[in-house]
Chain A
Amino acid sequence: MAGAGGGNDIQWCFSQVKGAVDDDVAEADIISTVEFNHSGELLATGDKGGRVVIFQQEQENKIQSHSRGEYNVYSTFQSHEPEFDYLKSLEIEEKINKIRWLPQKNAAQFLLSTNDKTIKLWKISERDKRPEGYNLKEEDGRYRDPTTVTTLRVPVFRPMDLMVEASPRRIFANAHTYHINSISINSDYETYLSADDLRINLWHLEITDRSFNIVDIKPANMEELTEVITAAEFHPHSCNTFVYSSSKGTIRLCDMRASALCDRHSKLFEEPEDPSNRSFFSEIISSISDVKFSHSGRYMMTRDYLSVKIWDLNMENRPVETYQVHEYLRSKLCSLYENDCIFDKFECCWNGSDSVVMTGSYNNFFRMFDRNTKRDITLEASRENNKPRTVLKPRKVCASGKRKKDEISVDSLDFNKKILHTAWHPKENIIAVATTNNLYIFQDKVN
């Protein structure tokens, strides 16, 4: 079972890295989302330039049994383009904020991709045959002179080189005044939600001209605005349940059976704070940047600036587990506020068996926490470690004072090298880690 050995018992090895080597990063190449599909065979990335790249895991090579299949480019397409809202004098970025895969129903694959304003349903299908032997057309498409046709033949399908085509099947637009931060497909596989800073809408995958508003936290007077929605997700099994997190560090669980407009939560998850500890930074660092249900549906994980918290859905008054991601940053909050890093939105993810959680940090470091053994590990996504099947060396940050050999001091951390997006294969110990413009794939050592 994936992850049964725990975060530290697994030996992580470099497998692949995608993207340009040069340090001069074009803005369009900044990776903005990473997501495995339900089988783990496909891995999608979205970037600031509005492009989606899908990688496919090659079938396991029986001869080379020392590694799992590699991920190679399967399809790439332009999902969103820059737009201009003339009424509000606003430029709408083409950056892909989120990609979510639909479960596979037939030969084609479907995914939802969204920018700040518009969600699109893309169909990715394979074509490996084409019809040949038309009566009225030459093979190159030119029309034949009908008078030269003396016999009739039936066109047949002949094999051709595999072509993967992406086509937009639905465009869900004009439902969000504010910037979309999340999309989540319901377990009914018919509906999905989209959340912006102040509102959450419910859509049917087949219907693009209507959407139901299910949460609205916009105050009548915008001067009274105190919190915004930061993330939202449907429960993996209960199609009536979803959660949304806020900039104040709270999570609300809502039940769509209770009322059409879920402004009143069914549960409110909030950890009490010691008022004497409160500072200027308290609210900013408590803002939740990501919320993810466990595969089991029993727990949910939240990521705030310095920590990862695991909540039991049955207990609202505090998380059951808290893991410090980079506590040494607490004494750097002033400069992190000045360079805006304090507003960075880190994501988090579960492994397939819900035993290990992972999240990113700075200096291209990422962290894993084993919930059973309570051990944690810090690894680095770097081209220096790119010999396949070489076990990654754990990293250590020295918070203060005596720096041991191989440790890195807090002041040497590169805050421009942030790992905001990570994904874990749903079944195996394969992880995808996005640095600014590169995608790293790591696997556990297979003997």
Chain B
Amino acid sequence: INSEIHDFCHLKESKEMEDKVTSPEKAEEAKLKARYPHLGQKPGGSDFLRKRLQKGQKYFDSGDYNMAKAKMKNKQLPAAAPDKTEVTGDHIPTPQDLPQRKPSLVASKLAG
């Protein structure tokens, strides 16, 4: 098959498809809202951005940690799944959950 004609046919096909479906994006949005009804009112807004700015915050404030421990004396602390490598989010990390500090560094395999 002449690849030039093939390329052109593909472009033409996808344009026709786009005309048929008025908005695949809106359909995807409906799907998402069906799965997560409590998803924030303001899309792409402060929540995303603040999460992005806080990237890397893995450790905890010992004050918060102790206060949380005192409050939840009788409740089970939500613990991270044993295979989780990152500790972020809602629950208070415990010393067992924290990832080990990095081991000594080796050479890149690109240089091998």
**Using a CB–CB distance below 8 Å, which chain A residues touch chain B?**
8, 18-20, 28-29, 31, 45, 47, 49-51, 53, 73, 76, 78, 81-82, 88-94, 116, 178-179, 197-198, 222-228, 247, 277, 279-284, 287, 327-328, 330-334, 337-338, 375-377, 394, 396, 399-400, 437, 439
Between A and B, 19 residue pairs with Cβ closer than 8 Å are A19-B109, A28-B108, A82-B102, A89-B58, A90-B57, A92-B56, A225-B46, A226-B46, A277-B23, A277-B25, A279-B25, A282-B43, A284-B48, A331-B28, A337-B32, A375-B4, A375-B7, A394-B3, A399-B13
Complex Cα spacing A92 to B59, Å = 11
- Find out whether the CB atom of B31 lies under 8 angstroms from the CB atom of A334: yes
- Find out whether the CB atom of B56 lies under 8 angstroms from the CB atom of A333: no
Complex Cα spacing A117 to B45, Å = 25
- Find out whether the CB atom of B49 lies under 8 angstroms from the CB atom of A280: no
Q: What is the minimal beta-carbon distance from B88 to any residue of chain A, in angstroms? A: 11
- Find out whether the CB atom of A333 lies under 8 angstroms from the CB atom of B28: yes
B24 at the interface (CB under 8 A from A): yes
- Find out whether the CB atom of A89 lies under 8 angstroms from the CB atom of B109: no
User: Which 5 pairs of residues, A with B, have the shortest CB-CB distance?
Assistant: A283-B44, A331-B24, A89-B59, A333-B28, A76-B111
- Find out whether the CB atom of B105 lies under 8 angstroms from the CB atom of A281: no
Which residue of B13, B101, B102, B107 is within 8 Å of A76 (Cβ)? B107
Contacts of A227 in B (CB 8 A): 49
- Find out whether the CB atom of A91 lies under 8 angstroms from the CB atom of B28: no
B contact residues, range:
35 or more
The number of A-B residue pairs with CB atoms under 8 Å apart is 147
- Find out whether the CB atom of A53 lies under 8 angstroms from the CB atom of B44: no
Contacts of A334 in B (CB 8 A): 28-29, 31-32, 35
Which residue of A29, A228, A247, A333 is within 8 Å of B108 (Cβ)? A29
Contacts of B23 in A (CB 8 A): 277, 279
Complex Cα spacing A82 to B104, Å = 11
- Find out whether the CB atom of B112 lies under 8 angstroms from the CB atom of A396: no
B72 at the interface (CB under 8 A from A): no
Known: A90-B59, A279-B43. 18 other contacts (CB 8 A): A18-B110, A53-B110, A76-B111, A82-B102, A89-B58, A91-B58, A179-B56, A228-B52, A247-B49, A279-B25, A280-B32, A280-B43, A281-B29, A284-B44, A331-B24, A334-B31, A396-B6, A437-B109
Complex Cα spacing A229 to B94, Å = 34
Looking across the interface, which residue of chain B has its beta carbon closest to that of A218? B53
Contacts A53-B110, A280-B32, A330-B24 known; A396 to B59 CB distance under 8 Å? no
Contacts A76-B111, A281-B25, A334-B32 known; A197 to B53 CB distance under 8 Å? yes
Which residue of B25, B29, B60 is within 8 Å of A89 (Cβ)? B60
Complex Cα spacing A440 to B73, Å = 55
- Find out whether the CB atom of A281 lies under 8 angstroms from the CB atom of B56: no
Looking across the interface, which residue of chain B has its beta carbon closest to that of A179? B55
- Find out whether the CB atom of A51 lies under 8 angstroms from the CB atom of B108: yes
Which residue of B4, B33, B39, B49 is within 8 Å of A228 (Cβ)? B49
Contacts of B24 in A (CB 8 A): 330-331, 333
Which residue of B27, B45, B46, B111 is within 8 Å of A331 (Cβ)? B27
Contacts of A327 in B (CB 8 A): 14, 18
Contacts of B6 in A (CB 8 A): 396
Complex Cα spacing A379 to B44, Å = 32
B12 at the interface (CB under 8 A from A): no
Complex Cα spacing A291 to B43, Å = 24
- Find out whether the CB atom of A223 lies under 8 angstroms from the CB atom of B46: yes
